[in-house]
Amino acid sequence: MDQAESSPSPGQPEPGQPEPGQPARQEQPSPRPDGQAGQATPALRLEHPVVAGYDGSASSRNALAYAVGLSARLGRPLLIVYVCSSGVYCEPLTGQVVGVPRDADALERWLLAELDQVTGYTEVDVHVRTRRGSPARELAAAAEEFSADALVIGAPKHIWHRVAGSVSGWLARHARCPVIVVP
């Protein structure tokens, strides 16, 4: 009986997979959905990372430090997600819609510098992603997209967030992975 596909023998990598001990090959860059042709985001393949939401606040710095430790203990990669606003504003006098471009490379360098300040040098495999939109929804989407083992975020700092709702409250109700809220 002929087989159309041959399966690898035990201990051999799947076709298209890197050899053990070799870094994973980056996929070809895919065009951005917002239509900016000059910039492309490469596809990222992570297996069950620890996702850390980061916004620069004191509690998110504490959450980042906790996420690094958790990632090291679990032996999982760390994915730092920074969510910014859509960057589209309406100019009040003319009504013209203005898009504010952000330098993705500068933002990534800033996030990695923050990681170094918070934790110093670490042996954890770190990846950084920026997203646009609602922080709660984008963090939940990132955690689901990569099948995260945990989602670590900072506690809200204002009392009205605890009363009226917050990112952490929404994530606790809607995320499909454990959510850890760090004060």
Tell me the pLDDT tens digit for each residue of 45-59: 788 999 999 998 899
Strand ranges for the chain from DSSP E = 29-31, 40-42, 50-53, 78-84, 88-90, 97-99, 126-132, 150-154, 179-182
Structure confidence at residue 7 (pLDDT): 41
Tell me the pLDDT tens digit for each residue of 70-126: 999 999 999 999 998 766 656 666 666 665 556 778 888 888 888 888 887 778 899
The strand order across the sheet containing 78-84 reads 126-132, 78-84, 50-53, 150-154, 179-182
* Res. 36: pLDDT tops 80: no
Cross-strand partners of 51: 79, 151
Pick from 120, 123, 138, 124: nearest CA to 55 = 138
Q: How far is CA 55 from the centre of its chain?
A: 12
Where in the chain are the domains? 47-182
Which residue has better confidence, 102 or 38? 102
Report the topology of domain 47-182: Rossmann fold (3.40.50)
Percent of the chain scored above 70 by pLDDT? 62
Structure confidence at residue 163 (pLDDT): 58
Q: What is the overall mean pLDDT for the chain?
A: 75
Task: Write down the pTM of the prediction.
Answer: 0.67
Q: For the chain, how many residues are written? A: 183
